[in-house]
Amino acid sequence: MPPAGSSEVNIYRRNRLKKAFVKKLISNQYTLVDLTSGKEFIASARGKLRHMRIDEDSSFNRQTTKKTKKENKVVTISPKVGDVVFYDDQEQVQITEVLPRQNELERPDVANIDQVLVVFSVIRPDFSFHLLDKFLVILDLERLPVVLVISKIDLIDDEPLQALKEDLSYYVSMGYDIHYVNSKERIGFDVLTTIFKDKITVLAGQTGVGKSTLLNALMPELQLKTQEISHALGRGKHTTRHTELYEFGGGYIADTPGFSKIDFRIFEPDMLKECYPDFNALSSSCRFGNKCLHQHEPGCAVREATEQGKIPPWRLAHYRLFLEEIKNQKPKY
Ligand code: ZN
């Protein structure tokens, strides 16, 4: 007989429980979708979930141990939209366990995000490679895959638009998917609407780039739904926790756009370097190999590649700026 809490007991317990996906959260009410039947229903979260045990290899454990700098297997956690959970429907429908998350955001409060659509406008505000490089670093650090959407393409002439596309082709060669859209006329939507299948998507981008316009153009019915919800909850009740994923294009989109202001959560120069796959591919050719920070070290392959025009000059310049920013900031714990 295995002792309580051993894996055999857990497997037995898990088999009895059912698995679901969290689609919506209003106050403390969760809307779950059963992963086998596809049935939707309302559930609450069991109180003791707040002090649940987690697996050694789960990301929660990693974060907790990092924070407290000691072994700590008990964490405070409540289910989020996007979570995969076990639930019990013996008496009341209750969430009993949250499965380890692939990643998560706080605004919007969503877990297991498959892609972030980062929206940049060509003008008003102007397109910024500085901001693009910063977003790519931060999202890479959070392990969030990125799709780039360039909006308001109708507001500039063809020549500057072609020049921008030319400059952005480097990012395409890095493997980024870039979509050029005009939300008002739904230009670029034919391809854009195919990327949501089987994925949880969140929108992000600077204020004014047209995230809400894009979201409303993709899902005209959304505006109506959010109005109904705010009406039902009563006006001015901004404190009510409400996050919802809407079915779209065979996947889900979060109803609220993600972060518009971004800050580094990096304290080690090496961590920044890790967020540059294009530089990393060259690191072994730097004279100091993986120890090279690509600043002013002799025999730096990244600098050479930049001088040869293989890497855009702004990309290395931004990297060095970010490196200075990180070196100058005080660590926050
Ligand atoms: Zn180097």
| 134 CA distance to ligand 1 middle (Å) | 20
* β-pairing verdict for 29-34 and 18-26: antiparallel
| 167 CA distance to ligand 1 middle (Å) | 23
| 132 CA distance to ligand 1 middle (Å) | 22
- Distance, in Å, from the CA atom of 201 to the CA atom of 177, rounded to the nearest integer, reads 14
Over residues 34-86, the pLDDT tens digits come to 999 999 999 998 765 544 445 554 444 444 444 454 454 555 578 999 999 99
Burial of 191 from C-beta contacts in 10 A (0-12 / 13-18 / 19+): exposed
- Confidence (pLDDT) at 184: 93
- Distance, in Å, from the CA atom of 282 to the CA atom of 172, rounded to the nearest integer, reads 18
CATH 3.30.70.100, applies to 115-255: no
Q: Which of 35, 56, 33 is nearest to 43 (CA)?
A: 33
CA 280 to chain centre: 22
Over residues 248-257, the pLDDT tens digits come to 999 999 977 7
Identical topology for domains 115-255 and 269-327: no
Over residues 191-217, the pLDDT tens digits come to 999 999 999 999 999 888 998 899 999
Q: Where are the domains of the chain?
A: 9-98, 115-255, 269-327
Beta pairing partners, 146: 116
Class of domain 9-98: mainly beta
The dihedral through the CA atoms of 311, 316, 318, 319 has a sign that is positive
Please answer whether residues 152 and 143 qualify as being in contact, where contact means their C-beta atoms are separated by less than 8 angstroms.
no
User: Which residue is associated with the tokens 């003791």?
Assistant: 48
The neighbourhood of ligand 1, an ion, using CB within 5 A, equals: 286, 292, 294, 300, 302
Other residues' Cβ atoms within 10 Å of the Cβ of residue 306: 21
Write out residues in the chain with pLDDT < 70, as ranges. 1-16, 47-76, 224-240, 260-261, 330-333
- Distance, in Å, from the CA atom of 206 to the CA atom of 131, rounded to the nearest integer, reads 9
Q: Which two tokens stand for residue 277?
A: 């796959």
Please answer whether residues 281 and 310 qualify as being in contact, where contact means their C-beta atoms are separated by less than 8 angstroms.
no
Burial of 322 from C-beta contacts in 10 A (0-12 / 13-18 / 19+): buried
Cα distances (angstroms) measured from residue 267 to each of 130, 133, 141, 271? 19, 18, 12, 7
| 4 CA distance to ligand 1 middle (Å) | 52
CATH of 269-327 among 1.10.40.60, 1.10.40.50, 3.40.50.720, 1.10.10.1400:
1.10.40.50
